[in-house]
Amino acid sequence: MIWMLLCILSGAAFGHIMRHAHVRQRHMAWVGAWNYLFAALAAWVWLGLQPAATLNWPAAVLGTLCGASYVAAFFVLDHAIRAAGVGITLSVQWLGVALPVAASIVFWGETPSLMQALGLGLAALSLPLLALGPSAPDAPRGRWRVAFLFSLFLLEGIVGLTMKVYSQRVPAGSELAFLCCMFSGAAAGRSKHQRTRD
């Protein structure tokens, strides 16, 4: 329970930091790039220090896909916050967890509990309501609002789905290789985007 609470608090704090950066006309891309660059460096050093460390290719491919999806979600989040405000955007972002849960039921035969089934149903109902409902008073309105929010939902779902595929299909022991490639892909994507903007 404590981990879920910390995850929710950190996610909400990050959204408000981005909003503050928009108000001050700052770019968050380099902040994210340095964050993931440091994480990637630490993961690669840790991998190198393991005596039996190997770069598992399925883990590397899934990790890179996860990192790329996360970077794409980050930049969609940037536009979504501008278009819909922090509250609605973060709510849609958290709803992305419905995709890996649904995939677990359909592809891996997992049976949802009553609460999980109820949660999936509510997520399916709340997504269009959030996308089409009122946004923050200072948020601009336009046709791109729904596209940004749906793209964010889809990309966040892909991030969770790659992690689920990894846990189901890749043998245990290659978690570090997955993290190395995920952090490296995220750092490279953010720094490349920032150079194109500069």
Tens-digit pLDDT string for the chain (198 aa): 576 677 677 767 766 766 676 677 666 566 666 667 887 888 888 888 887 767 788 888 999 999 888 888 888 887 888 777 777 888 888 888 888 888 888 888 888 788 878 877 887 777 777 766 665 555 555 567 788 888 999 999 999 899 889 888 887 778 888 888 888 888 776 655 554 455
pTM: 0.71
Check residue 1 and give its pLDDT: 57
CA distance 80 to 124: 19
pLDDT attached to residue 100: 86
CA–CA distance, 123 with 104 (Å, rounded to integer): 16
Give the pLDDT confidence score for residue 196 in this predicted structure: 47
Query: For residue 30, what pLDDT is reported?
Result: 63
Q: CA-CA distance, 178 to 117, in Å (whole number)?
A: 30
With H, G, I as helix, E, B as strand and everything else as coil, classify residue 1. Answer: coil
User: What is the pLDDT, as a whole number, of residue 75?
Assistant: 82
Q: Is 195 exposed, middle or buried (0-12, 13-18, 19+ CB in 10 A)?
A: exposed
- CA angle (72, 73, 75) in 5-degree steps: 70
